[in-house]
Amino acid sequence: MNALLSVVQLLVSLFFILLGIFALRAWLHERNPSSGWLALAVGSLGAVSLLGRVQTSLSPPLLTELIGDFDIGLILLSAYALLRFRGTFIPLRPTTHAAVVALLLVTETLSIATRLTAGPSARSGIPVWLQQVVVIELVAAWGLCVLDPIIRFAWASRNRPAVQRARLRSLSIGFALLVLVFLVAGAAPALARNPVVQLGTQLMALLSVPFIYASLSPPIWLRRSWRERESEALRLAVRDLLLFSPSRQVLAERALEWAQRLVGADAAMIADSDGSALAAHGVWPESVKGLLHDLEREPAGRIVRLTDAQQPGSAMILPLPLDAGTGALIVLSGPYTPYFGSDELTWLSGYATSITAALDRAILTERIAALERTKTEFLNLASHELRGPITLVRGYLDMLANGSLGAVSKELRRVLPALQIKADEMNSLIEQMIEAARLEEGRLELHPVETDLRELARRAVDVIAPLTNKEHALKVETPAQAVRATVDPERVSTILANLLSNAIKYSPRGGEIRCAVTREDGMAVVEVTDQGVGIAPEEMDKLFTRFGRIPNQETRHIGGTGLGLYLSRQLARMQGGDVTVRSIPGKGSTFRFAVPLTP
């Protein structure tokens, strides 16, 4: 047992000395107050272990006592340094700081005065109870200073990114184990002399080492394991960034949050190609302008040391090769952040590529949206400006036709029907433009009533019949019983007129045009079939799009806005139905309008 205890004690001393070296290295790497206080806290414990090994090899009692007193000072110093480490995130009140310093100085003074570290013969004149009180006071002072950071770090870790959360919890667990060791040694000294208890406390001290080390300088494999779950969430987030961000500003804000979570950074910024800040978290854009200038000189992603006293630490700078110029993703380390290394740089470089693509895509999306708004505004303006003149023209043509303007010559009477048909076509195009603009702006309203689709089909055929010529045979097929649907009659008439008009226009060689009304599986259906030019399968995607037209040798001369089928499908879907098509190139097409039957 004694041999095993000696080995464990040696390991504890060795590992705490190594921890002190690692803490010193961390401070030399970051050179900020928080890492300095943490290095002092851990380094003090390492020095205590080292001096403990030296103390056991010395024989002069006075020197042994001096080293023991110095050990107690280092133990108290580690507690004070850990509390100051906490103070770099959550500042200590001046009164609290003064009280802690006074408590620790009094504790050290009492331990020296009662000669706690001296041999039994040197302590013979000092009451045992007083020494026990001082020991308890020593453990209490150290424990109070350490417990505060332990509890606060554990609490603060809840809403932190994975890397920072794991680091804070590791630090809390490591020092909590040391608190247990001190409690056992101070509160029950007789029990602490038991070899089994000694072995247990030494094992707890040994177990605290990997936790404290993980909080100081976690290796690459550990950092990867900490962020593994967030990495999967990141892949989904990148997809959302690329597809669903409404603007570059929102995209940059979301992207920055994930950049910080990915590497556990404390602050970050995305700079646009002109150097302006698209998004910034925890950093003033002016404070990193120098880093942007460095990127212009050396456009590769890299890690740099920050020398600013206001914001010490390190930063990762990654170029964003945008179409408009080179932007930058800048990520800054913080008190809770582990070292930025090659692994973090690799991860963030891949992420920066995704951000670049997303930001350029957002520009394209915004431009497309602006073009769509311009189209809608043009439709609105043009249609309303044209509506007045065409209404006037149609009115005068009707007055000429009914003789209200006096006798009409034979020549004019012969061409008057053609003029009225063309004026009606123009009016129909204008109405389509107005309806499309209303649809885009969300102002299109429906007035559904129960209607017999047979009547609407017959009326549509009667309206469209003047557009046909002798090569076209227009037929209507309706069942004997009513085909009732709850729809907006005016909108359905628009749909059927569009389908019949297209059937005539895209059958330049004539042929039969059939309009059939049927019932199918709870739906009221109107099919318009022609024997025209047909539609190739690869052109189907364009068919129902706004301004979608499919020009070819036979149809190039046919006019239109490309809004008819788009508007027809949207109107049908607003009423719970749809417009679909079947077509064979060179043989014709069948357009099918379907809405639910009225129960």
Q: Is residue 388 part of a domain?
A: yes
- Residue 289, helix vs strand vs coil: helix
Please report the DSSP string for 208-224 in residue order. Answer: HHHHHHHHH---HHHHH
Cβ neighbours of 445 (radius 10 Å): 9
Q: Is residue 370 part of a domain?
A: no
Residues 386 and 319 in one domain: no
Residues 142 and 235 in one domain: no
Instruction: Tell me if 11 sits within 8 A of 199, measured CB to CB.
Output: no
Q: What are the tokens at 195? A: 């070899």
Residues 155 and 39 in one domain: yes
- What would the pLDDT profile of 435-460 be if each residue is shown by its tens digit? 777 777 677 788 999 999 999 999 99
* Number of domains into which the chain is organized: 4
Cβ neighbours of 392 (radius 10 Å): 10
Residues 260 and 402 in one domain: no
Residues 475 and 429 in one domain: no
Q: Which residues of the chain have pLDDT under 50?
A: 309-310, 338
Q: Is residue 164 part of a domain?
A: yes
Instruction: Outline where DSSP puts E strands in 229-361.
Output: 267-271, 277-281, 302-306, 313-322, 325-332
Give the side-chain half-sphere CA count within 13 A for 422: 8
Instruction: Tell me if 528 sits within 8 A of 472, measured CB to CB.
Output: no
Of 362, 395, 429, which residue constitutes the final position of a domain? 362
Instruction: Outline where DSSP puts E strands in 371-522.
Output: 449-452, 472-477, 484-487, 511-520
- What pLDDT is recorded for position 309? 47
**Cα 407 vs. chain centroid, distance in angstroms?**
74
Of 416, 441, 466, which residue constitutes the final position of a domain? 441
Q: What are the tokens at 253? A: 């804000």
- What pLDDT is recorded for position 307? 59
Q: Distances from the Cα of 531 to the Cαs of 61, 501, 509, 543, in angstroms?
A: 116, 14, 9, 18
Residues 68 and 160 in one domain: yes
d(C-alpha 263, C-alpha 161), whole Å: 8
DSSP-derived letter for residue 123 is T
Instruction: Tell me if 15 sits within 8 A of 42, measured CB to CB.
Output: no
Q: How many helices (H) and strands (E) does the chain have?
A: 18, 12
Return the sign of the alpha-carbon dihedral for residues 147, 83, 185, 109. Answer: negative
Of 388, 417, 441, which residue constitutes the final position of a domain? 441
Residues 24 and 131 in one domain: yes
d(C-alpha 208, C-alpha 176), whole Å: 8
CATH number of the structural domain spanning residue 125 = 1.20.1070
Q: Is residue 367 part of a domain?
A: no
Q: Is residue 60 part of a domain?
A: yes
Instruction: Tell me if 34 sits within 8 A of 167, measured CB to CB.
Output: no
pTM: 0.48
Residues 158 and 126 in one domain: yes
d(C-alpha 81, C-alpha 595), whole Å: 76
Phi and psi (nearest 5°) for 163? -65, -45
Q: Closest Cα partner for 577 from 521, 541, 524, 527?
A: 524
Instruction: Tell me if 205 sits within 8 A of 177, measured CB to CB.
Output: yes
Q: How many residues does the chain have?
A: 599
Residues 213 and 66 in one domain: yes
Residues 27 and 145 in one domain: yes
Amino acid occupying residue 52: G
CATH number of the structural domain spanning residue 560 = 3.30.565.10
Residues 471 and 387 in one domain: no
Q: Is residue 474 part of a domain?
A: yes
Q: Is residue 424 part of a domain?
A: yes
Scored b (16 or more CB within 10 A) or e, 125-142 reads eeeeeebeebbebbbbbb
Instruction: Tell me if 199 sits within 8 A of 5, measured CB to CB.
Output: yes
Residues 240 and 174 in one domain: no
Domain residues for 199?
A: 2-218
Q: Is residue 224 part of a domain?
A: no
CATH number of the structural domain spanning residue 268 = 3.30.450.40
